């Protein structure tokens, strides 16, 4: 009888073979390892002993679990663990190591684990970016010697909707400053994609490459000298970007707790849709495999429109003012925008994708 660890190793090799990102593989392996430890305490001795009840009880135990730094596990982390476990059992079933997938009937959308996407308003995004580079900001300024590098990377993430891992993995050869295009190599799902970036991002990238990057390159190991974004220790790491992000928020006095570096990517998508960009274009830009993932941003944008309406409508406020022509123009603009987004949601209804996903789950496995 093969050990649990044997099947975990097969699973990790499988994920490597289909070009999954290193972080995704590590997160999936952690989820499976934690589940195996949990199942062992309940008497499981082989992969055939796992039951749906074990999985549901494990998920409940993870709701009360703590992360690496002694803090309660965030909803996003819990969701990743569940996704990793789901992928593991799908792998075992399709590879015919098990005859029944015990996770097949565990709900995909488990109530309470979907965290709300936080985004910047356009004004907040501008204030955040302008607070980074001392040569262009007014008001708050960072004291970091790497201000120009930080401005370049955050401008690029916002301009192109990049994931933080995609930004730090860029090499100099991946950037075309003249054409304002970059290539994301081995993005999520192991796919490459070409992405445009803005004039502003190009400006700060050029300044960074010609000044700070040259300074940093002198202290860099040969293996990292192809990297676009450098630190004093080599290729820039995710954690350094996150620390810089937190410091900038602190400097501008932002009190919203749920903003993260990934919020910049969310903000890029939402602001593009608000400006009238086609949802298919945004899907291609962000590298979403399914348009369903992109359409979620239209629902987020609807929430923003509702907030704007609520703050503007005299009957929604604590005081009442006479309706004037300016107010009526504002309401007409909001109504037109809401109708436009309703048409998009009509063309791409969530029910269609939920129905397809249900069908996929019911397809019999091999053999």
Tell me the C-alpha distance between 162 and 241, whole Å.
13
Please report whether residue 286 resides in a domain: no
Q: Give the residue numbers spanning the domain of 187.
A: 122-273
Overall average pLDDT of the 337-359 stretch:
66
Please report whether residue 115 resides in a domain: no
Q: Which of 94, 111, 145 is the last residue of a domain?
A: 94
**Res. 135: pLDDT tops 60:** no
Tell me the C-alpha distance between 195 and 277, whole Å.
15
Q: Is 262 a catalytic residue?
A: yes
Q: What is the CATH number of the domain that holds 12?
A: 1.10.150
Please report whether residue 367 resides in a domain: no
Tell me the C-alpha distance between 208 and 197, whole Å.
15
The verdict on 174 and 266 lying in the same domain is yes
The verdict on 264 and 322 lying in the same domain is no
303 or 125: which carries more pLDDT confidence? 125
Strand partners, 194: 183
Q: Phi and psi at residue 342, in whole multiples of 5°?
A: -65, -35
Query: How far is C-alpha 117 from the chain's CA centre?
Result: 9
pLDDT of residue 292: 63
Q: Are strands 193-196 and 175-176 parallel, antiparallel or unpaired?
A: unpaired
Q: Phi and psi at residue 152, in whole multiples of 5°?
A: -65, -45
Please report whether residue 107 resides in a domain: no
**Res. 156: pLDDT tops 90:** yes
**Res. 367: pLDDT tops 50:** no
The residues near 167 (Cβ < 8 Å, ≥ 6 apart) are 153, 156, 157, 229, 241
Region of poorest pLDDT, from 176-190, 287-301, 309-323:
309-323
**Res. 247: pLDDT tops 70:** yes
Q: Are 159 and 198 in contact (CB under 8 A)?
A: yes
Please report whether residue 237 resides in a domain: yes
**Res. 238: pLDDT tops 70:** yes
The verdict on 198 and 267 lying in the same domain is yes
Region of poorest pLDDT, from 29-43, 46-60, 274-288:
274-288
Q: Are 184 and 237 in contact (CB under 8 A)?
A: no
Domain count, the chain: 3
The verdict on 258 and 185 lying in the same domain is yes
Q: Is 16 a catalytic residue?
A: no
Overall average pLDDT of the 294-304 stretch:
60
pLDDT confidence band for 209 (50 / 70 / 90): very high
The verdict on 269 and 131 lying in the same domain is yes
Pick the catalytic residue from 163, 207, 213, 341: 163
Pick the catalytic residue from 79, 262, 313, 357: 262
Pick the catalytic residue from 87, 213, 288, 341: 288
pLDDT confidence band for 172 (50 / 70 / 90): very high
Strand partners, 193: 184
Overall average pLDDT of the 12-19 stretch:
90
Q: Is 265 a catalytic residue?
A: yes
Q: Which of 78, 94, 110 is the last residue of a domain?
A: 94
Pick the catalytic residue from 151, 188, 213, 341: 188
The angle at the Cα of 248, spanning 242 to 254, to the nearest 5 degrees, equals: 110
The verdict on 139 and 260 lying in the same domain is yes
pLDDT confidence band for 341 (50 / 70 / 90): confident
The verdict on 310 and 199 lying in the same domain is no
The verdict on 242 and 198 lying in the same domain is yes
Q: Is 309 a catalytic residue?
A: no
pLDDT confidence band for 24 (50 / 70 / 90): confident
pLDDT confidence band for 354 (50 / 70 / 90): low
Pick the catalytic residue from 158, 207, 297, 341: 297
Overall average pLDDT of the 219-237 stretch:
86
Q: What is the CATH number of the domain that holds 212?
A: 1.10.443.10
At 76-106, the pLDDT tens digits run 788 888 989 999 999 999 998 998 899 988 8
The residues near 185 (Cβ < 8 Å, ≥ 6 apart) are 169, 174, 192
What Å distances lie between residue 150 and 99, 112, 132, 240, CA to CA? 51, 35, 7, 10
The verdict on 209 and 322 lying in the same domain is no
Please report whether residue 86 resides in a domain: yes
pLDDT of residue 294: 65
The verdict on 76 and 190 lying in the same domain is no
Alpha-helical segments (H) within 42-74: 52-63
pLDDT confidence band for 137 (50 / 70 / 90): very low
Q: Is 299 a catalytic residue?
A: no
The verdict on 206 and 296 lying in the same domain is no
**Res. 139: pLDDT tops 50:** no
Please report where in the chains the tokens 């190991």 appear, as a residue. Answer: 221
pLDDT of residue 324: 60
Pick the catalytic residue from 235, 265, 271, 341: 265
Report residue 23 as tokens: 């972080």
Q: Which helix (H) or strand (E) holds 236?
A: none
Please report whether residue 197 resides in a domain: yes
Query: How far is C-alpha 62 from the chain's CA centre?
Result: 21
Q: Are strands 181-184 and 234-235 parallel, antiparallel or unpaired?
A: unpaired
The verdict on 237 and 328 lying in the same domain is no
**Res. 276: pLDDT tops 70:** yes
Region of poorest pLDDT, from 14-28, 136-150, 173-187, 283-297:
136-150
CA torsion sign for 300, 306, 309, 314 is negative
Please report whether residue 102 resides in a domain: no
Give the total residue count for the chain: 367
The angle at the Cα of 44, spanning 42 to 46, to the nearest 5 degrees, equals: 170
Q: Which of 48, 75, 94 is the last residue of a domain?
A: 94
pLDDT confidence band for 7 (50 / 70 / 90): very high
pLDDT of residue 320: 45
Q: Is 188 a catalytic residue?
A: yes
Average pLDDT, whole number, for the chain?
79
Q: What is the pTM of this model?
A: 0.57
Overall average pLDDT of the 254-279 stretch:
82
Strand partners, 72: 66
**Res. 141: pLDDT tops 50:** no
What Å distances lie between residue 51 and 44, 54, 93, 257, CA to CA? 9, 5, 13, 38
Overall average pLDDT of the 249-255 stretch:
84
């Amino acid at each position: 009888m093969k050990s649990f660890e044997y099947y975990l190793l097969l699973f990790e090799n499988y994920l490597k073979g289909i070009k999954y990102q290193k972080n995704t593989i590590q997160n999936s392996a952690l989820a499976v390892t934690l589940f195996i430890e949990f199942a062992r305490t309940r008497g499981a001795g082989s992969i055939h002993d796992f039951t749906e009840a074990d999985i549901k009880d494990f998920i409940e135990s993870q709701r009360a679990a703590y992360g690496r730094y002694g803090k309660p596990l965030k909803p996003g982390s819990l969701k990743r663990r569940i996704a990793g476990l789901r992928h593991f059992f799908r792998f075992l079933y399709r590879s015919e190591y098990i005859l029944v997938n015990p996770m097949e009937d565990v709900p995909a959308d488990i109530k309470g684990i979907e965290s709300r996407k936080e985004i910047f308003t356009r004004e907040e995004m501008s204030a955040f970016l302008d607070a980074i580079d001392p040569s262009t900001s007014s008001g708050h300024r960072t004291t970091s010697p790497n201000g120009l590098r930080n401005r370049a990377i955050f401008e690029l993430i916002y301009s192109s909707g990049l994931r933080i891992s995609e930004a730090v993995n860029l090499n100099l050869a991946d950037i075309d400053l003249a054409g304002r295009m970059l290539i994301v190599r081995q993005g999520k799902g192991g796919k490459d994609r070409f992405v445009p970036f803005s004039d502003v991002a190009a400006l700060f990238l050029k300044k960074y490459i010609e000044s700070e990057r040259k300074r940093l390159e002198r202290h860099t190991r040969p293996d990292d000298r192809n990297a676009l974004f450098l630190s004093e220790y080599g290729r820039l790491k995710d954690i350094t970007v996150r620390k810089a992000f937190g410091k900038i928020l602190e400097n501008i006095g932002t009190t919203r707790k749920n903003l993260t570096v990934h919020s910049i990517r969310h903000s890029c998508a939402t602001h593009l849709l608000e400006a009238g960009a086609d949802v298919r274009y945004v899907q291609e830009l962000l590298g979403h495999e399914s348009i369903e993932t992109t359409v979620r941003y239209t629902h987020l944008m609807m929430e923003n429109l509702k907030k704007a309406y609520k703050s503007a409508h005299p009957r929604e406020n604590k005081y009442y003012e006479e309706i004037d022509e300016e107010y009526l123009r504002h309401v007409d603009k909001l109504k037109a925008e809401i109708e436009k987004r309703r048409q998009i949601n009509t063309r791409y209804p969530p029910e269609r994708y939920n129905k397809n996903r249900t069908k996929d789950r019911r397809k019999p496995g091999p053999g």
